[in-house]
Amino acid sequence: MATSQKERVNVEGHELTLTNLGKIIYPETGTTKAEVLEYYAAVAPFLIPAAANRPATRKRWVHGVGTTSDPGPMFFQKNLDDSTPSWVPRVTIQHREHSNVYPLVNNLATLTWLAQIAALEIHVPQWQVDADGTMLPPDRLVLDLDPGPGTGLSECVEVAKLARSILQDIGLDPVPVTSGSKGIHLYAGLDGTRKWEQVSAFAHELARSLEADHPDLVVSDMKKTLRNGKVLVDWSQNSGNKTTIVPYSLRGRAHPMVAARGRGANSPPPSSSIWTSRPSWSASKRERTPSPRWRAGTPLRTRTGVPEPRTTTAARPTRTARAPARPASAPPSGARP
């Protein structure tokens, strides 16, 4: 059957076998694995600078995300397993009682491999590692604006404007990003001179200040019982132990939503201290807006047939076989990713 077919590709000099390209990953939209691969290839120039040199935690849906009424099984993955290609960049992070080996999403080949194993969501911390794998001070601050019952995106926008004004007053340049879920992430680049404990404490104080000034709109406490009719300003993701979904990552929801920067005329440009680039990329390329096909906070457009997994113009993979035709239905639950 179509879902058992595979394709051998070369991405940046690395050979990968892409399997089950016609497999339905998002049943409610009919979005296939090949389309997921195509999406990540298209946004690689924008996602990789935001993820590079940051240990990546993955959320995987090897049997697809399922439906609203019957979600598919998901599992978190931190450690790399034995099947990981040797060329995937990685770093060992020592935690309090154990260590984990994380991938670094520093190149298109690694991003393609993650899509191949159905790691739909990529989560990273606000800090990077240096060439020796040492944790550096955070180079960005993030506020996760999460609407409680009775509120929505419009209230999140209102809170984002309030927080942005405060951050601008102290010389920061906030960048709004839709979370791909219900709310907004507000990022601000830092100079890397403060420890994560200091950044987290500042973010907490900012959240409490917003709550004090706008008690009918904002809450800074995580208790769900306090969130009715208010927007939670979640400051906790600035902890050195926490992660946030990387901009342009897919979400494992019923529809293939995307975490992405807004496209409005008043959206500020990305700060170079937030979207750390690889030296080989020009600033103009980093700041270019992705194709309208991938609009912030909207589902991916589905198409008839299976598109060819492709990279950016600069690094298109070579293929030895064509992608299979799209199946009429999802594969059995025991099918391989």
Domain match, 140 and 210 both: yes
252 falls within a domain: yes
Domain match, 153 and 213 both: yes
Residue 20 has pLDDT above 50, yes or no: yes
Domain match, 108 and 143 both: no
The HSE-up count of residue 322 (CA atoms within 13 Å, CB side) is 6
What's the domain count of the chain?
2
Question: Is 308:322 a contact under the CB 8 Å cutoff?
Answer: yes
Domain match, 95 and 43 both: yes
Q: In the beta sheet, which residues pair with residue 92? A: 101
38 falls within a domain: yes
270 falls within a domain: no
Q: In the structure encoding, which two tokens stand for residue 238, read together?
A: 């600035």
Domain match, 110 and 248 both: yes
Domain match, 89 and 17 both: yes
278 falls within a domain: no
Domain match, 66 and 137 both: no
**7 or 262, which is more confident:** 7
Residue 336 has pLDDT above 80, yes or no: no
pLDDT at 242: 96
Question: Is 174:167 a contact under the CB 8 Å cutoff?
Answer: yes
318 falls within a domain: no
Q: Tokens 């500020």 appear where?
A: 268
Q: In the beta sheet, which residues pair with residue 90? A: 103
287 falls within a domain: no
- Give the domain CATH number at 172: 3.30.70.3300
Residue 82 has pLDDT above 70, yes or no: yes
Domain match, 16 and 72 both: yes
> Pick from 189, 207, 242: which residue ends a domain?
242
Q: What angle do CA 63, 5, 305 make, to 5 degrees?
A: 80
CA distance 255 to 253: 5
Domain match, 103 and 251 both: yes
Q: Tokens 């975490």 appear where?
A: 259
The pLDDT tens digits of the residues spanning 217-230 come to 999 998 988 999 99
Q: What is the mean pLDDT of residues 283-298?
A: 31
109 falls within a domain: yes
Domain match, 135 and 5 both: no
- Name the DSSP class of 237: G
CA distance 188 to 260: 15
pLDDT at 96: 86
- Name the DSSP class of 29: T
Residue 166: domain span: 131-242
Type of residue numbered 280: S
pTM: 0.78
CA distance 161 to 141: 16
Domain match, 164 and 255 both: no
Q: In terms of DSSP H, where are the helices of the chain?
A: 33-51, 108-116, 153-169, 196-213, 283-286
* Phi, psi angles (nearest 5°) of residue 62: -70, -20
269 falls within a domain: no
Domain match, 143 and 229 both: yes
